[in-house]
Amino acid sequence: MERRTLLGLNFNVFLLGLVSFLTDVSSEMVMPILPLFIVSLGGAGLAVGLIAGLSESASSVLRVFSGYWSDRYGRRKPFVASGYAASAAAKLFFPLSTTWAHILVLRPLERVGKGLRTAPRDAIIAESLASGVRGRGFGVHRAMDTSGAILGSVSAFLLYWFWGWELRPILWAAALVAFSSLVPLYFVGERRFKPQAKTFKLSLAGLPGNLKLFVAAATVFAMGNLSYMFLILRAQELFAGRAAVAVPLLLYVLLNVVFATLAVPFGVLSDRIGRKGVLFAGYVLFASVCLGFAALSSLPAYVALFVLYGAVYALVEGNQRAFVADFDVKELRGTALGVFHTSVGLAALPANFLAGALWQYVSPAAAFAYAAALSMAAALLLLRVK
């Protein structure tokens, strides 16, 4: 693989960051309006939780296999390309939905593409970076990804509030943007290596014990990591009319601005002081944010909580992946990242289903209290990882 560099990082980091940027412009035009679209189609808290959980879990089943397959065949880029193309194609059908059950089917299909691409893409990034800059490299990628999220959610707000677009035309525009992400992907280089003869079972057995313990901690955290859609529904409770769509959109933009701003600094921090302490802080902060959403119900409070939630993402998202990549797994890095993504993603289904049931049949506060408890449990389990 050609070692082109920019700002001390392999050029692949920036190319894959651009792919993620364009994909997230598309995705984040969809994501902040999706819970509102679901409600407009007759869904409620349980429907939102079911769609959120099933979407992540459906894609996660593929993540470990796509990582293993990329190790098995010595190629990663074909899995990355097919994943981005599949997601773009699925988005074309979103605006055709007439009931929330259609989204229940379409959203998981769209996330299958994410399942195909995530572990091989992260493996390309990890293999393009020395361990001493891996936190910074993943931080740059997450920052570019989230910058796309900012532009996407801002675009959705502008189209809705200033140009008077309804939700369906915004979904059409997002589907068209998704296909542009395939262009920079063409220029990404990859290190081809000898295909691995190990079976899937032996590949899993070859992963270090402490890596498996960390995956367990991250999975417990994911069990309490409620979908962003619940935050948007919580904020919507304060408003009526078009403001009930516009204000949650702006809060979502704020969340992503904080995430994009802090992703690289927190990645660099983890390179300097270690990933474990940074992740522990992220888990504990998320528990605090959930307690805030459970107890508070004012716009100033929600502004502060969305800011802190953005900080949680910056502490956790890139650094969890970098932590997995730090373990000595040699040619099984794709499998290791796939196991991590699959375990975390599969936890999303029971997590969001239970949260949705608590939201609809008990109270929103109960859903957030449940999330806070599991986040603290994950923090305590993380302390045992060496």
- The structure tokens 């079911």 sit at 50
Residue 174 buriedness (CB in 10 A; 0-12 / 13-18 / 19+): buried
CATH topology of domain 9-188+203-382: Growth Hormone; Chain: A; (1.20.1250)
> What pLDDT score does 34 carry?
85
The domain segmentation of the chain, as residue ranges, is 9-188+203-382
Rg of the Cα trace of the chain? Answer: 20
Q: What is the pLDDT of residue 206?
A: 59
DSSP at 293: H
Strand ranges inside the chain, DSSP E: 5-6, 9-10
Alpha carbons within 13 A on the beta-carbon side of 114: 20
Q: Are 202 and 337 in contact (CB under 8 A)?
A: no
Predicted pLDDT of residue 382: 92
Other CB atoms within 10 Å distance of the CB of residue 165: 16
pLDDT value of position 329: 62
| Residue 369 dihedral angles phi and psi, to the nearest 5° | -65, -40
- C-beta separation of 294 from 365 below 8 A: yes
SS (H, E, C) 84-120: HHHHHHHHCCHHHCCCHHHHHHHHHHHHHHHHHHHHH
67: nearest Cα among 217, 196, 213: 196
Q: Which residues of 236-258 are buried (b: 16+ CB within 10 A; e: fewer)?
A: beeeeeeeebbbbbbbbbbbbbb
Full-prediction pTM beyond 0.75? no
The sign of the dihedral angle between the CA atoms of 246, 251, 257, 260 is negative
Angle in degrees, CA 56, 24, 357, rounded to 5: 30
At 376 the pLDDT is 95
DSSP string computed for 148-215 = HHHHHHHHHHHHHHTS---HHHHHHHHHHHHGGGHHHHTT------PPP---HHHHHHTS-HHHHHHH
Residue type, 348: A
Predicted local confidence at residue 293, as pLDDT: 92
Residue 8 Cα to chain centre, angstroms: 26
Provide the pLDDT for residue 380: 94
At 10 the three-state DSSP class reads strand
Q: What is the pLDDT of residues 39-82, one digit of tens each?
A: 888 877 788 878 877 777 777 777 667 777 777 777 788 888 88
Q: How far apart are CA 95 and CA 102, in angstroms?
A: 10
Give the pLDDT confidence score for residue 164 in this predicted structure. Answer: 82
pLDDT for the residue numbered 196 = 61
* Predicted pLDDT at 170: 92
Residues of the chain with pLDDT under 50: 1-2, 202
Angle at 39 between CA 37 and CA 44, to 5 degrees: 145
Nearest CA among 15, 36, 9 for reference residue 241: 36
Q: Angle, nearest 10°, between helix axes 77-91 and 11-30?
A: 20
77-96 burial, b at 16+ Cβ within 10 Å, e below that, comes to bebbbebbbbbbebbbbbbe
